[in-house]
Structure formats: C-alpha cells, structure tokens
Amino acid sequence: MADTVWGRVEKSHWIGDGSNKAPHVIDVLKDQNYPYCNKLWSDARPWINAGKMQLRHIMVGILTPASAGKAAALGPL
C-alpha cells in the first residue's frame, strides 16, 4: 500500500522550491493556513539557497474554508 501511495504523491502536481539538482528532495503537503507549513518554508531557506535541498509543495486545502481557494490559486503551475 505504501508504494501505491508514494507513487501517487510523486505523480501529483507540486510547486518546486529549490534546485532540481539538489541531492535531497522533500515532498511537503502544505496548507497555506497552517502556520508550521510557513515556518518550514522559512527555516528551510538556508538549505534550499545552498542547493542542498528541494521542497516540493503539494498544495492542499483542508484547514479552513479559505484553504481550498488558496491552494487552487497557488498550484499547479
């Protein structure tokens, strides 16, 4: 089951943040209304800017009524 789920995540629409050549790629399910998602974005900047990590933001809209609209506005590109 895990292989199926991860296969679906890899094929989902995501917003890349960082180099496609980064040695570490992290898939992040992100709701714009969740403060820890925004903290992760901020805290990861040094690694992303250094080319060591790429975040793949998979936008979800589940926390508030405004979440779905924000997710739709941001992705997919």
For residues 63 and 53, what is the distance between their CA atoms, to the nearest angstrom?
27
Domain count within the chain = 1
**Cβ atoms of 17 and 56 closer than 8 Å:** yes
pTM: 0.76
Query: Which pLDDT band, with edges at 50, 70 and 90, does 77 fall under?
Result: very low
The parent domain of residue 70 ranges over 2-74
What pLDDT score was predicted for residue 21?
96
The domain that contains 9 carries what CATH number? 3.40.30.10
Q: Is the pLDDT of residue 76 over 70?
A: no
What pLDDT score was predicted for residue 43?
96
| Cα dihedral value 19, 73, 75, 54, nearest 10 | 30
For residues 26 and 16, what is the distance between their CA atoms, to the nearest angstrom?
10
Q: What is the mean pLDDT of residues 35-50?
A: 94
In whole numbers, what is the pLDDT of the chain averaged over residues? 87
